[in-house]
Amino acid sequence: MRSTKKTPQVSARTRCGLTMIEVIVCISILATLAALLLPATRSARGTARRTQCQNNLRNVGLAVQAYSTAKRGAVPPLTGGFSIAGPSRPNTAPWSVHLQPYLESSPLYDSLQSAAPTEINQLAQLQIETYYCPDAKNSGKGGLSYVANAGVIANDDWSQADSIAHSRERYDFAFNGYGEGNLNAEDQLLAVASGVFWREPASNAGLFQSPRTLDEISRADGSSQTILLSENLNTRSFDPATHTGGWISDATGDIAFGITLAGHESGGQFRVADKETPGGVGVVGGPIETGLQLSEQPVSAECRINANRSNAKDGASPRPSSGHPGVVNMAFADGSCKVIFEGIDPTVYARLLTPAGSQHGQVSVSSSDF
């Protein structure tokens, strides 16, 4: 007899989605992961930008070495060589123009020497990628993020926009009196021992005609202990109306960095500390062998790395600064590019600027000092 008992049917319920609690849990997990990953992503991007800046600056430093090889060891002048006549004013060609043939920009270099004034302003607005840092704000028209080591600068020149007064013919380093008639070969020897890049003399009648070569730097303080170039956030982009700013500028605040020291004299010649003024360098009446002897805290606060970064004046703040937190990239005379901490000892920093300070009373710097 056939059984009439029915087999029970199992009802299958298909789930169509997540519950509200599960959605909230998923969102919480994703938010936590994002919170963990975003800082790492920002840090990675910041590191990548700093690395790109290092690469650019290293290439500029290598261009200085290539220039030096072609010019019997000389470094480019801070300004010199030829005039670049724009519509509003002529500029004396800065180091950043002289390096262009060594950065694959020979056509631009040639054009700057022959173009009409109206064409010059157009050329000056070109962006040279190697000349700016991706973390800098000065990458606009003709931007230049990197500046050259100009050594000791008079305080009344240091903060003056458009000043072109900083030159080795001006300073009385040997303490033998102000004025052109009192400046001698010792003054200029001490000047060029305090920094690497100097303006070419306006006349060939000067007492000291050539800055130190890279070979001389190597034999003196050492090429790995001498800064060539640094970053500066406060250079200006090119302004066609005034023919200033950018890589074509000849103003100290756009193309150079340096230090001022305790013991300034306001106006006129720069006198490097005397017995009545604490700090500075040298001793009144002392020999040239002690002419760059540093005090314990020689560098004025405004000249130190990243000083007054939040509100420094563009074009009038020729000190190292960067968009990289706590550090700046610097190129050295040996072709290396190093990260320098903004809290470096001021005396060590000052000695890194001098290419021949050890010959004039300074204690040598070792790699463990910075």
pLDDT, tens only, 18-42: 688 877 888 888 887 777 766 655 5
Helix axes 117-124, 106-114, angle to 10 degrees: 150
Residue 277: its pLDDT value, please? 47
pLDDT one-digit tens code per residue, 57-84: 999 999 999 999 999 899 999 999 999 9
Residue 266: its pLDDT value, please? 45
- Give residue 245's region: left, alpha or beta (phi > 0; psi -120 to 50): left
* Window from 5-9, 154-158, 178-182 with minimum mean pLDDT: 5-9
Domain map (residue ranges) of the chain? 47-369
Band of residue 198 on the pLDDT scale cut at 50, 70, 90: very high
pLDDT one-digit tens code per residue, 304-336: 999 999 899 999 999 999 999 999 999 999 999
Residue 291: its pLDDT value, please? 83
Element containing residue 366 per DSSP (H, E): none
Residue 45: its pLDDT value, please? 65
- Give residue 267's region: left, alpha or beta (phi > 0; psi -120 to 50): left
Band of residue 338 on the pLDDT scale cut at 50, 70, 90: very high
pLDDT one-digit tens code per residue, 109-138: 999 998 998 899 999 999 999 998 988 876
Element containing residue 345 per DSSP (H, E): none
Residue 48: its pLDDT value, please? 82
pLDDT one-digit tens code per residue, 281-311: 666 667 788 888 887 767 889 999 999 998 9
Instruction: State percent of the chain over pLDDT 90.
Output: 52
- Give residue 319's region: left, alpha or beta (phi > 0; psi -120 to 50): beta
Residue 139: its pLDDT value, please? 65
Q: How far apart are CA 221 and CA 133, in angstroms?
A: 29
Which three-class secondary structure state does DSSP give residue 169?
coil
**pLDDT mean over 157-182:** 77
Residue 287: its pLDDT value, please? 79
Above 90 in pLDDT, residue 191? Answer: no
> Please, are residues 76 and 147 in contact by the beta-carbon 8 Å criterion?
no
Above 60 in pLDDT, residue 85? Answer: yes
